[in-house]
Amino acid sequence: MRSVGVEEELLLVDERSGEPLAVSGAVLAAADRLAWQRPGGEDHAFEKELHKEQLEFATKPVTHMGELHDEIVRIRGEAAHHAASAGAVVAAVATSPLPVRPSLSAGSRYRWLGEQFGLTAQEQLTCGCHVHVSVESDEEGVAVLDRIRPWLAVLTAISANSPFWQGEDSGYGSYRSRVWNRWPSAGPVDVFGSADRYHEQVQAMIDTGVLRDVGMIYFDARLSANYPTVEVRVADVCLDASTPVLLAALARGLVETAARAWRDGEPPARIGTSLLRLANWRAGRSGLDGPLLHPETMRETSAVHAVEALYQHVREALVDHGDDERVREAIAHLHERGNGARVQRRLHDSGETLAAVATRCAELTIKP
């Protein structure tokens, strides 16, 4: 069974005002101290990100979704504990509800990004969720990338959790996806056809000098530079800890379904990248509260029908992995309760200030 791992980026905010706090250095120092107190001095799961107002963590690779859920809940709890030592709480929101002037993290890489990309880097305080799914080879991985392209926008819609930007309602379910796509290497890509062509394209992009290194290949899905995985990168960080588990199950289903199609000699759908960009925009705009583009026809349909099409596409793999019941229940729950964008707006529409929205989201972040 293919293993799965999740990376999440969390926002560090003041527990009373809800304003983002540039305290990632202090939070990481607290995590370091605790790690050295453990037997063997094990490393912790946390890393710094582009801005000091955010914290990243990665789960270990697992094969069972129940174990992944427990990992996410546990590490979010640890993140909250470390943040408290710096006077902060962690919020699984993909953009700050409140206005913020982000602070770039220290280091030559982040300094280079700030100098190279200016306001794009300065404003890029966004928190995503990346899902890693194991593959047997680069050739299989690229075959998967070529075949999952049309389905990724539905994952954006499911995860949408960034309705507010600089203190205003953006009108989008996932405004993070719009801010993220300001990077020149971000977004959907053409069909590659082979691992050699994938690596040639990546190297050609780096050779332009626009990108610093392979870490800046920000495709919607890519081969990981560090692990034998396909990395799906389109999702907002999700408020409820159960939603990244749903994303992981669907992503693994997509990878397995695509790999089987490749082995059976089925070609990838020849949907143009320009259409995929429209599907991405539509998903970011609507989330689950408006129309999406159907992954197979690229015609407007309801969010319910688009999610159902994704489920049916990967259902055989879900059954084989033992994930089918969990996914069906999670999808039903999501349609009933809504994603993070709907929860945030519901709180605000009920009369809560954006500060209260941020602090309430911090409470929901660590809810089991």
Over residues 125-145, the pLDDT tens digits come to 999 999 999 999 999 999 999
Residue 40 has pLDDT above 70, yes or no: no
The percentage of the chain sitting over the pLDDT mark of 70, rounded to a whole number, equals 98
Residue 354 C-alpha from the chain's centroid:
23
pLDDT band per the 50, 70, 90 thresholds, residue 153: very high
Asked whether the predicted pLDDT for residue 39 surpasses 90, the reply is no
Q: What is the pLDDT of residue 44?
A: 76
CA 240, 173, 235, 208 torsion-angle sign: negative
Per-residue pLDDT at 37: 67
Render pLDDT for 355-368 as a digit per residue (tens, 0 to 9). 999 999 999 999 98
Mean pLDDT of the chain: 97
Q: What is the pLDDT of residue 38?
A: 66
State in words which class domain 4-365 has.
Answer: alpha beta
How far apart (Å, rounded) are the C-alpha atoms in residues 238 and 223? 23
Can you give the length of the chain in residues?
368
Residue 181: is it exposed, middle or buried by C-beta count within 10 angstroms (0-12/13-18/19+)?
A: middle
Closest-CA residue to 233 (of 279, 198, 186, 269): 186
Q: 241 near 76, Cβ under 8 Å?
A: yes
Query: Identity (one letter) of the amino acid at 184?
Result: P
pLDDT at 34 over 90: no
> Tens of pLDDT along 251-297?
999 999 999 999 999 999 999 999 999 999 999 999 999 999 999 99
Question: Is 70 exceeded by the pLDDT of residue 348?
Answer: yes
Q: What is the pLDDT of residues 286-332, one digit of tens each?
A: 999 999 999 999 999 999 999 999 999 999 999 999 999 999 999 99
Domain ranges (residues) in the chain: 4-365
Please state the pTM of the whole predicted model: 0.97
